[in-house]
Structure 1
Amino acid sequence: MTNTLLDSPAAHVLDKLFADAEQQMAKFRDAAQNQPKPEPVDQTPFERFSARKDLYMPIDRPFGNLMYSLIRATQARTVVEFGTSFGISTIYLAAAVRDNGAGKVITSEFIPEKAETAKKNLTDADLVDLIDFRVGDALMTLNEPLPGQVDFVFLDGEKSMYLDILKVLEPHMKSGCLISSDNTDHDGVENFLAYLHDPANGYVSTPLLTLGGSKHHSGHEVSLRL
Protein backbone atom coordinates (compact mmCIF):
# COMPACT_ATOMS: atom_id res chain seq x y z
CA MET A 1 0.00 0.00 0.00
CA THR A 2 1.30 3.44 -0.96
CA ASN A 3 2.26 5.83 1.86
CA THR A 4 3.17 9.33 0.73
CA LEU A 5 4.29 10.17 4.28
CA LEU A 6 7.34 7.91 3.88
CA ASP A 7 10.52 8.87 1.99
CA SER A 8 8.86 11.42 -0.28
CA PRO A 9 8.96 15.19 -0.89
CA ALA A 10 6.01 15.46 1.52
CA ALA A 11 7.90 13.60 4.26
CA HIS A 12 10.97 15.80 3.84
CA VAL A 13 8.91 19.01 3.95
CA LEU A 14 7.14 17.82 7.10
CA ASP A 15 10.49 17.09 8.76
CA LYS A 16 11.70 20.60 7.95
CA LEU A 17 8.50 22.33 9.07
CA PHE A 18 8.31 20.43 12.35
CA ALA A 19 11.98 21.25 13.05
CA ASP A 20 11.37 24.95 12.30
CA ALA A 21 8.26 24.96 14.49
CA GLU A 22 10.12 23.35 17.40
CA GLN A 23 12.97 25.84 17.06
CA GLN A 24 10.48 28.71 17.08
CA MET A 25 8.69 27.28 20.12
CA ALA A 26 11.99 26.92 22.00
CA LYS A 27 12.76 30.60 21.42
CA PHE A 28 9.34 31.57 22.77
CA ARG A 29 9.81 29.38 25.84
CA ASP A 30 13.17 31.00 26.54
CA ALA A 31 11.74 34.48 26.06
CA ALA A 32 8.78 33.71 28.31
CA GLN A 33 11.07 32.66 31.15
CA ASN A 34 12.88 36.01 31.03
CA GLN A 35 9.90 38.32 30.63
CA PRO A 36 6.89 39.02 32.85
CA LYS A 37 3.60 37.68 31.54
CA PRO A 38 1.72 40.53 29.81
CA GLU A 39 -1.72 41.55 30.93
CA PRO A 40 -4.46 39.83 28.86
CA VAL A 41 -5.95 42.04 26.15
CA ASP A 42 -9.35 41.55 24.57
CA GLN A 43 -8.84 41.02 20.84
CA THR A 44 -11.03 40.21 17.88
CA PRO A 45 -10.24 37.00 15.97
CA PHE A 46 -8.72 39.16 13.20
CA GLU A 47 -6.43 40.90 15.71
CA ARG A 48 -5.41 37.60 17.33
CA PHE A 49 -4.54 35.90 14.08
CA SER A 50 -2.85 38.96 12.60
CA ALA A 51 -0.63 39.15 15.69
CA ARG A 52 0.27 35.46 15.23
CA LYS A 53 0.79 35.48 11.47
CA ASP A 54 4.43 34.37 11.85
CA LEU A 55 3.66 31.52 14.28
CA TYR A 56 3.44 27.89 13.19
CA MET A 57 0.89 26.62 15.77
CA PRO A 58 1.17 23.13 14.21
CA ILE A 59 -0.69 19.93 14.92
CA ASP A 60 1.48 17.18 16.39
CA ARG A 61 2.70 14.23 14.35
CA PRO A 62 0.49 11.64 16.11
CA PHE A 63 -2.63 13.63 15.27
CA GLY A 64 -1.46 14.10 11.68
CA ASN A 65 -0.94 10.34 11.41
CA LEU A 66 -4.38 9.73 12.88
CA MET A 67 -6.08 11.97 10.33
CA TYR A 68 -4.11 10.38 7.50
CA SER A 69 -5.28 6.97 8.74
CA LEU A 70 -8.93 8.04 9.05
CA ILE A 71 -8.99 9.45 5.53
CA ARG A 72 -7.34 6.34 4.11
CA ALA A 73 -9.64 3.98 6.03
CA THR A 74 -12.80 5.77 4.90
CA GLN A 75 -11.55 6.40 1.34
CA ALA A 76 -12.44 10.08 1.73
CA ARG A 77 -12.19 12.07 -1.50
CA THR A 78 -13.49 15.54 -0.59
CA VAL A 79 -11.74 16.98 2.48
CA VAL A 80 -12.37 20.45 3.96
CA GLU A 81 -9.91 22.18 6.28
CA PHE A 82 -10.61 25.28 8.40
CA GLY A 83 -7.25 26.86 9.26
CA THR A 84 -4.41 26.16 6.79
CA SER A 85 -1.68 28.06 8.68
CA PHE A 86 1.65 27.07 7.05
CA GLY A 87 0.24 23.84 5.66
CA ILE A 88 1.54 21.12 7.99
CA SER A 89 -1.90 19.63 8.57
CA THR A 90 -2.78 20.19 4.90
CA ILE A 91 0.14 17.97 3.88
CA TYR A 92 -1.25 15.11 5.96
CA LEU A 93 -4.72 15.57 4.47
CA ALA A 94 -3.47 15.82 0.90
CA ALA A 95 -1.10 12.86 1.30
CA ALA A 96 -4.05 10.69 2.34
CA VAL A 97 -6.17 11.91 -0.58
CA ARG A 98 -3.28 11.24 -2.98
CA ASP A 99 -2.88 7.72 -1.63
CA ASN A 100 -6.64 7.14 -1.94
CA GLY A 101 -6.21 7.66 -5.68
CA ALA A 102 -8.20 10.87 -6.27
CA GLY A 103 -9.85 13.79 -4.54
CA LYS A 104 -9.44 17.36 -3.36
CA VAL A 105 -8.54 19.24 -0.18
CA ILE A 106 -10.38 22.55 0.19
CA THR A 107 -8.50 24.62 2.75
CA SER A 108 -9.33 28.04 4.17
CA GLU A 109 -6.85 30.52 5.67
CA PHE A 110 -7.64 33.97 7.03
CA ILE A 111 -4.15 35.50 6.67
CA PRO A 112 -2.97 35.92 3.03
CA GLU A 113 0.73 35.73 3.96
CA LYS A 114 0.21 32.36 5.64
CA ALA A 115 -1.74 31.07 2.66
CA GLU A 116 1.15 32.00 0.34
CA THR A 117 3.66 30.21 2.56
CA ALA A 118 1.38 27.17 2.74
CA LYS A 119 1.10 27.14 -1.05
CA LYS A 120 4.90 27.07 -1.35
CA ASN A 121 5.15 24.27 1.22
CA LEU A 122 2.50 22.21 -0.59
CA THR A 123 4.32 22.82 -3.87
CA ASP A 124 7.58 21.60 -2.34
CA ALA A 125 5.69 18.58 -0.98
CA ASP A 126 4.49 17.79 -4.54
CA LEU A 127 0.85 17.93 -3.38
CA VAL A 128 -0.29 21.39 -4.48
CA ASP A 129 -2.31 19.99 -7.40
CA LEU A 130 -4.74 18.49 -4.87
CA ILE A 131 -5.38 21.77 -3.01
CA ASP A 132 -8.10 24.38 -3.44
CA PHE A 133 -6.80 27.37 -1.42
CA ARG A 134 -9.48 29.75 -0.17
CA VAL A 135 -8.24 32.94 1.48
CA GLY A 136 -10.36 35.15 3.73
CA ASP A 137 -13.25 34.70 6.14
CA ALA A 138 -14.02 30.97 6.14
CA LEU A 139 -17.71 31.64 6.75
CA MET A 140 -17.71 33.11 3.26
CA THR A 141 -15.02 31.12 1.44
CA LEU A 142 -16.35 27.73 2.58
CA ASN A 143 -19.87 28.79 1.61
CA GLU A 144 -18.77 28.82 -2.02
CA PRO A 145 -19.38 25.73 -4.21
CA LEU A 146 -17.70 22.51 -3.13
CA PRO A 147 -16.75 19.62 -5.45
CA GLY A 148 -19.36 17.15 -4.22
CA GLN A 149 -20.34 15.81 -0.83
CA VAL A 150 -17.83 16.34 1.98
CA ASP A 151 -16.27 13.15 3.37
CA PHE A 152 -13.91 14.61 6.00
CA VAL A 153 -13.64 17.93 7.86
CA PHE A 154 -10.68 19.23 9.86
CA LEU A 155 -11.28 22.21 12.18
CA ASP A 156 -8.18 24.06 13.39
CA GLY A 157 -8.85 27.79 13.09
CA GLU A 158 -10.45 30.27 15.48
CA LYS A 159 -12.06 28.12 18.17
CA SER A 160 -15.07 30.38 18.67
CA MET A 161 -15.96 29.83 14.99
CA TYR A 162 -16.00 26.01 15.07
CA LEU A 163 -19.76 25.72 15.50
CA ASP A 164 -20.54 28.30 12.81
CA ILE A 165 -18.17 26.60 10.35
CA LEU A 166 -19.71 23.22 11.15
CA LYS A 167 -23.18 24.54 10.37
CA VAL A 168 -21.97 26.05 7.08
CA LEU A 169 -20.64 22.63 6.04
CA GLU A 170 -23.45 20.44 7.40
CA PRO A 171 -25.64 20.64 4.26
CA HIS A 172 -22.69 19.31 2.23
CA MET A 173 -21.69 16.46 4.54
CA LYS A 174 -22.44 12.93 3.48
CA SER A 175 -23.76 10.45 6.03
CA GLY A 176 -20.61 9.00 7.54
CA CYS A 177 -18.58 12.22 7.23
CA LEU A 178 -15.89 12.48 9.91
CA ILE A 179 -15.16 15.77 11.67
CA SER A 180 -11.75 16.03 13.31
CA SER A 181 -11.35 19.05 15.61
CA ASP A 182 -8.07 20.23 17.13
CA ASN A 183 -7.46 21.97 20.47
CA THR A 184 -10.83 21.07 21.92
CA ASP A 185 -9.27 21.17 25.38
CA HIS A 186 -8.98 24.97 24.97
CA ASP A 187 -11.45 27.62 26.05
CA GLY A 188 -14.00 28.79 23.50
CA VAL A 189 -15.29 25.44 22.23
CA GLU A 190 -17.88 24.74 24.92
CA ASN A 191 -20.93 25.44 22.72
CA PHE A 192 -19.38 23.51 19.84
CA LEU A 193 -18.80 20.42 21.99
CA ALA A 194 -22.28 20.66 23.53
CA TYR A 195 -23.74 20.68 20.02
CA LEU A 196 -21.74 17.61 18.96
CA HIS A 197 -22.65 15.72 22.14
CA ASP A 198 -26.41 16.33 21.79
CA PRO A 199 -27.77 13.23 19.97
CA ALA A 200 -30.56 15.35 18.49
CA ASN A 201 -27.99 17.06 16.23
CA GLY A 202 -26.98 13.85 14.47
CA TYR A 203 -23.44 13.14 15.64
CA VAL A 204 -21.55 10.48 17.55
CA SER A 205 -18.57 12.27 19.08
CA THR A 206 -15.52 11.19 21.07
CA PRO A 207 -12.80 13.23 22.82
CA LEU A 208 -9.22 12.01 22.68
CA LEU A 209 -5.64 12.98 23.49
CA THR A 210 -2.55 12.47 21.38
CA LEU A 211 0.89 12.40 22.97
CA GLY A 212 3.96 14.05 21.54
CA GLY A 213 5.10 17.29 20.00
CA SER A 214 6.10 20.51 21.73
CA LYS A 215 2.87 20.53 23.79
CA HIS A 216 3.49 16.98 25.15
CA HIS A 217 -0.21 16.19 24.62
CA SER A 218 -3.08 17.71 22.66
CA GLY A 219 -6.85 17.46 23.00
CA HIS A 220 -9.09 16.68 20.05
CA GLU A 221 -12.60 15.58 19.14
CA VAL A 222 -13.46 13.08 16.42
CA SER A 223 -17.11 13.06 15.37
CA LEU A 224 -19.21 11.01 12.97
CA ARG A 225 -22.07 12.61 11.04
CA LEU A 226 -24.98 10.15 11.01
Structure 2
Amino acid sequence: MNSLTDPRVADVIARLHQEAEAADQPVLEDRPGGAMADEDLIRRTLEEEARDYRSLYHRYADNYFSVSPTFGQFLYVCARTTRSRLVIEYGTSFGVSTLYLAAALRDNGAGHLVTTELEPAKAARAQENLAEAGLADLVDVRVGDALDTLRAEPAEPVDLLLLDGAFSLYLPVLRLVEPYLRPGALVVAENAIEAVSDYRDHVRAPHNGYLTLTVPFDETRGNELSLRTG
Protein backbone atom coordinates (compact mmCIF):
# COMPACT_ATOMS: atom_id res chain seq x y z
CA MET A 1 0.00 0.00 0.00
CA ASN A 2 1.31 3.43 -0.90
CA SER A 3 -0.17 6.89 -1.27
CA LEU A 4 -0.49 6.55 -5.04
CA THR A 5 -3.13 3.89 -4.41
CA ASP A 6 -5.02 6.09 -1.94
CA PRO A 7 -8.35 6.77 -3.68
CA ARG A 8 -8.13 10.52 -3.00
CA VAL A 9 -4.72 10.74 -4.64
CA ALA A 10 -5.35 8.22 -7.41
CA ASP A 11 -8.62 9.85 -8.46
CA VAL A 12 -7.08 13.31 -8.76
CA ILE A 13 -4.07 12.01 -10.70
CA ALA A 14 -6.28 10.03 -13.09
CA ARG A 15 -8.50 13.06 -13.69
CA LEU A 16 -5.53 15.32 -14.37
CA HIS A 17 -3.98 12.90 -16.85
CA GLN A 18 -7.30 12.81 -18.73
CA GLU A 19 -7.57 16.60 -18.68
CA ALA A 20 -3.97 16.93 -19.86
CA GLU A 21 -4.54 14.67 -22.83
CA ALA A 22 -7.64 16.60 -23.88
CA ALA A 23 -6.00 20.00 -23.44
CA ASP A 24 -2.64 19.21 -25.03
CA GLN A 25 -3.50 16.93 -27.93
CA PRO A 26 -4.67 19.72 -30.27
CA VAL A 27 -1.45 21.66 -29.62
CA LEU A 28 0.77 18.62 -30.15
CA GLU A 29 -0.99 17.72 -33.38
CA ASP A 30 -0.28 21.20 -34.74
CA ARG A 31 3.44 20.86 -34.05
CA PRO A 32 5.79 19.47 -36.69
CA GLY A 33 6.32 15.78 -35.99
CA GLY A 34 3.81 15.86 -33.14
CA ALA A 35 6.52 14.93 -30.62
CA MET A 36 7.35 17.04 -27.58
CA ALA A 37 10.95 15.88 -27.56
CA ASP A 38 11.57 16.57 -31.26
CA GLU A 39 15.02 18.18 -31.53
CA ASP A 40 13.92 20.86 -34.00
CA LEU A 41 10.96 21.72 -31.81
CA ILE A 42 13.16 22.10 -28.73
CA ARG A 43 15.57 24.32 -30.67
CA ARG A 44 12.72 26.56 -31.84
CA THR A 45 11.36 26.69 -28.30
CA LEU A 46 14.78 27.71 -26.97
CA GLU A 47 14.95 30.49 -29.55
CA GLU A 48 11.52 31.78 -28.46
CA GLU A 49 12.48 31.51 -24.80
CA ALA A 50 15.58 33.59 -25.46
CA ARG A 51 13.37 36.37 -26.77
CA ASP A 52 10.77 36.27 -23.97
CA TYR A 53 10.12 33.06 -22.04
CA ARG A 54 7.43 34.66 -19.86
CA SER A 55 5.27 35.57 -22.84
CA LEU A 56 5.89 32.22 -24.50
CA TYR A 57 4.61 30.21 -21.56
CA HIS A 58 1.75 32.61 -20.90
CA ARG A 59 0.55 31.61 -24.37
CA TYR A 60 0.19 28.05 -23.05
CA ALA A 61 -1.53 28.96 -19.79
CA ASP A 62 -4.32 26.46 -20.46
CA ASN A 63 -2.02 23.58 -21.39
CA TYR A 64 -0.60 20.97 -19.05
CA PHE A 65 2.44 19.50 -20.85
CA SER A 66 2.64 17.28 -17.79
CA VAL A 67 4.62 14.15 -17.05
CA SER A 68 3.22 10.81 -18.14
CA PRO A 69 1.95 8.25 -15.60
CA THR A 70 5.17 6.25 -16.11
CA PHE A 71 7.38 9.27 -15.53
CA GLY A 72 5.28 10.25 -12.52
CA GLN A 73 5.88 6.84 -10.98
CA PHE A 74 9.59 7.23 -11.74
CA LEU A 75 9.59 10.50 -9.78
CA TYR A 76 7.83 8.77 -6.89
CA VAL A 77 10.49 6.03 -6.89
CA CYS A 78 13.30 8.60 -6.98
CA ALA A 79 11.89 10.45 -3.98
CA ARG A 80 11.32 7.23 -2.03
CA THR A 81 14.72 5.76 -2.89
CA THR A 82 16.55 8.89 -1.74
CA ARG A 83 14.32 9.08 1.35
CA SER A 84 13.78 12.68 0.39
CA ARG A 85 12.87 15.23 3.02
CA LEU A 86 13.21 18.32 0.84
CA VAL A 87 12.25 18.27 -2.83
CA ILE A 88 12.35 21.28 -5.15
CA GLU A 89 10.33 21.32 -8.36
CA TYR A 90 10.77 23.86 -11.12
CA GLY A 91 7.57 23.97 -13.19
CA THR A 92 4.39 23.14 -11.27
CA SER A 93 1.84 23.60 -14.07
CA PHE A 94 -1.40 22.08 -12.75
CA GLY A 95 0.41 19.90 -10.22
CA VAL A 96 0.59 16.46 -11.82
CA SER A 97 4.26 15.79 -11.06
CA THR A 98 3.78 17.63 -7.77
CA LEU A 99 1.24 15.05 -6.68
CA TYR A 100 3.58 12.13 -7.39
CA LEU A 101 6.38 13.79 -5.42
CA ALA A 102 4.15 14.81 -2.52
CA ALA A 103 2.79 11.26 -2.30
CA ALA A 104 6.36 9.99 -1.97
CA LEU A 105 7.10 12.46 0.82
CA ARG A 106 4.02 11.31 2.68
CA ASP A 107 5.16 7.72 2.39
CA ASN A 108 8.64 8.71 3.56
CA GLY A 109 7.00 9.76 6.80
CA ALA A 110 7.95 13.42 6.63
CA GLY A 111 9.12 16.01 4.17
CA HIS A 112 8.50 19.22 2.32
CA LEU A 113 8.12 20.05 -1.37
CA VAL A 114 8.83 23.52 -2.75
CA THR A 115 7.35 23.98 -6.21
CA THR A 116 7.33 27.10 -8.35
CA GLU A 117 5.04 28.21 -11.17
CA LEU A 118 5.18 31.29 -13.38
CA GLU A 119 1.43 31.43 -14.15
CA PRO A 120 -0.74 32.42 -11.12
CA ALA A 121 -3.85 30.66 -12.46
CA LYS A 122 -1.96 27.39 -12.88
CA ALA A 123 -0.49 27.67 -9.39
CA ALA A 124 -3.97 28.22 -7.94
CA ARG A 125 -5.31 25.17 -9.74
CA ALA A 126 -2.36 23.10 -8.56
CA GLN A 127 -3.07 24.14 -4.98
CA GLU A 128 -6.70 23.06 -5.39
CA ASN A 129 -5.65 19.69 -6.81
CA LEU A 130 -3.24 19.10 -3.94
CA ALA A 131 -5.94 19.96 -1.42
CA GLU A 132 -8.38 17.59 -3.12
CA ALA A 133 -5.80 14.81 -2.91
CA GLY A 134 -5.09 15.56 0.75
CA LEU A 135 -1.44 16.45 0.12
CA ALA A 136 -1.46 20.25 0.35
CA ASP A 137 0.12 20.28 3.80
CA LEU A 138 3.36 18.93 2.31
CA VAL A 139 3.73 21.50 -0.46
CA ASP A 140 4.77 25.14 -0.67
CA VAL A 141 3.50 26.47 -4.03
CA ARG A 142 5.42 29.60 -5.00
CA VAL A 143 4.17 31.91 -7.74
CA GLY A 144 6.55 33.78 -10.01
CA ASP A 145 9.80 33.42 -11.90
CA ALA A 146 11.87 30.57 -10.48
CA LEU A 147 14.98 32.73 -10.60
CA ASP A 148 13.29 34.81 -7.89
CA THR A 149 11.20 32.25 -5.98
CA LEU A 150 14.11 29.83 -5.50
CA ARG A 151 16.75 32.42 -4.66
CA ALA A 152 16.54 32.08 -0.86
CA GLU A 153 18.64 29.47 0.90
CA PRO A 154 16.50 26.43 1.85
CA ALA A 155 16.14 25.44 5.47
CA GLU A 156 17.80 22.05 4.92
CA PRO A 157 19.77 20.19 2.24
CA VAL A 158 17.94 19.37 -0.99
CA ASP A 159 17.44 15.67 -1.71
CA LEU A 160 15.77 15.88 -5.13
CA LEU A 161 15.44 18.58 -7.78
CA LEU A 162 13.02 18.27 -10.69
CA LEU A 163 13.51 20.57 -13.68
CA ASP A 164 10.40 20.72 -15.85
CA GLY A 165 9.91 24.34 -16.94
CA ALA A 166 11.46 26.58 -19.57
CA PHE A 167 14.38 24.67 -21.07
CA SER A 168 16.65 27.71 -21.16
CA LEU A 169 16.36 28.04 -17.37
CA TYR A 170 17.39 24.49 -16.52
CA LEU A 171 21.01 25.45 -15.93
CA PRO A 172 20.32 28.78 -14.17
CA VAL A 173 17.84 27.07 -11.82
CA LEU A 174 20.26 24.23 -11.16
CA ARG A 175 22.98 26.75 -10.31
CA LEU A 176 20.65 28.43 -7.81
CA VAL A 177 19.91 25.14 -6.04
CA GLU A 178 23.26 23.43 -6.59
CA PRO A 179 25.00 24.74 -3.44
CA TYR A 180 22.28 23.11 -1.33
CA LEU A 181 22.20 19.66 -2.97
CA ARG A 182 23.39 17.04 -0.52
CA PRO A 183 25.81 14.34 -1.66
CA GLY A 184 23.64 11.58 -3.10
CA ALA A 185 20.87 13.97 -4.17
CA LEU A 186 19.19 13.42 -7.53
CA VAL A 187 18.51 15.96 -10.25
CA VAL A 188 15.90 15.00 -12.83
CA ALA A 189 15.65 17.13 -15.96
CA GLU A 190 12.69 16.28 -18.16
CA ASN A 191 13.29 16.62 -21.90
CA ALA A 192 16.87 17.78 -21.40
CA ILE A 193 17.81 16.40 -24.80
CA GLU A 194 20.68 17.41 -27.08
CA ALA A 195 19.32 20.88 -27.85
CA VAL A 196 19.52 21.80 -24.15
CA SER A 197 23.28 21.67 -24.50
CA ASP A 198 24.39 24.06 -21.74
CA TYR A 199 22.60 22.04 -19.09
CA ARG A 200 23.76 18.67 -20.40
CA ASP A 201 27.36 19.84 -20.73
CA HIS A 202 27.30 21.01 -17.10
CA VAL A 203 25.97 17.82 -15.51
CA ARG A 204 28.06 15.58 -17.77
CA ALA A 205 31.37 17.27 -16.98
CA PRO A 206 32.97 15.11 -14.23
CA HIS A 207 34.59 18.08 -12.47
CA ASN A 208 31.11 19.53 -11.72
CA GLY A 209 30.33 16.69 -9.32
CA TYR A 210 27.64 14.64 -11.06
CA LEU A 211 27.23 11.17 -12.48
CA THR A 212 24.66 11.47 -15.26
CA LEU A 213 22.79 9.15 -17.57
CA THR A 214 19.95 9.57 -20.03
CA VAL A 215 16.76 7.79 -19.02
CA PRO A 216 14.34 7.14 -21.92
CA PHE A 217 10.63 7.39 -21.24
CA ASP A 218 7.58 7.30 -23.50
CA GLU A 219 9.61 6.65 -26.66
CA THR A 220 10.26 10.25 -27.69
CA ARG A 221 11.33 11.79 -24.38
CA GLY A 222 14.97 12.04 -23.40
CA ASN A 223 15.56 12.81 -19.75
CA GLU A 224 18.73 13.37 -17.73
CA LEU A 225 19.10 11.74 -14.32
CA SER A 226 22.06 13.11 -12.39
CA LEU A 227 23.47 11.92 -9.07
CA ARG A 228 25.24 14.57 -6.97
CA THR A 229 28.48 12.84 -6.10
CA GLY A 230 30.11 15.52 -3.98
TM over 0.5: yes
Specify whether residues 204 and 145 from structure 1 end up closer, same or farther in structure 2 by C-alpha distance, changes over 3 A only. same
Taking the aligned partners of 1:61 and 1:174, their CA distance within structure 2 comes to 28
AA aligned opposite 1:114? K
* Aligned-residue identity in percent: 38
Taking the aligned partners of 1:129 and 1:148, their CA distance within structure 2 comes to 18
- The reply on whether 1:71 has 2:74 as its aligned counterpart is no
AA aligned opposite 2:168? S
Taking the aligned partners of 1:133 and 1:9, their CA distance within structure 2 comes to 20
Instruction: Give the match for residue 37 of structure 1.
Output: none
Instruction: Give the match for residue 112 of structure 2.
Output: 104
Q: Which residue of 187, 200, 205 corresponds with 1:193?
A: 200
In proportion to residue count, which structure has more helix? 2
Instruction: Give the match for residue 2 of structure 2.
Output: 3
Alignment of 1:46-57 (within 5 A): 46-57=54-65
- Aligned-residue Cα RMSD (Å) equals 1.8
Taking the aligned partners of 1:21 and 1:59, their CA distance within structure 2 comes to 9
Alignment of 1:105-184 (within 5 A): 105-184=113-192
Deviation at 1:31, TM superposition (A): 6.3
SS in 2 for 1:5: helix
SS in 1 for 2:184: strand
Q: Which residue of 201, 208, 220 corresponds with 2:223?
A: 220
Taking the aligned partners of 2:172 and 2:28, their CA distance within structure 1 comes to 33
Specify whether residues 18 and 198 from structure 1 end up closer, same or farther in structure 2 by C-alpha distance, changes over 3 A only. same
AA aligned opposite 2:202? Y
Taking the aligned partners of 2:137 and 2:155, their CA distance within structure 1 comes to 15
AA aligned opposite 2:208? N
Deviation at 1:28, TM superposition (A): 3.6
Runs of 5+ consecutive residues of structure 2 not aligned to the other structure: 33-43
Q: Deviations over 1:149-191 (max 9, x none)?
A: 000000001110111111100111111110011011263x101
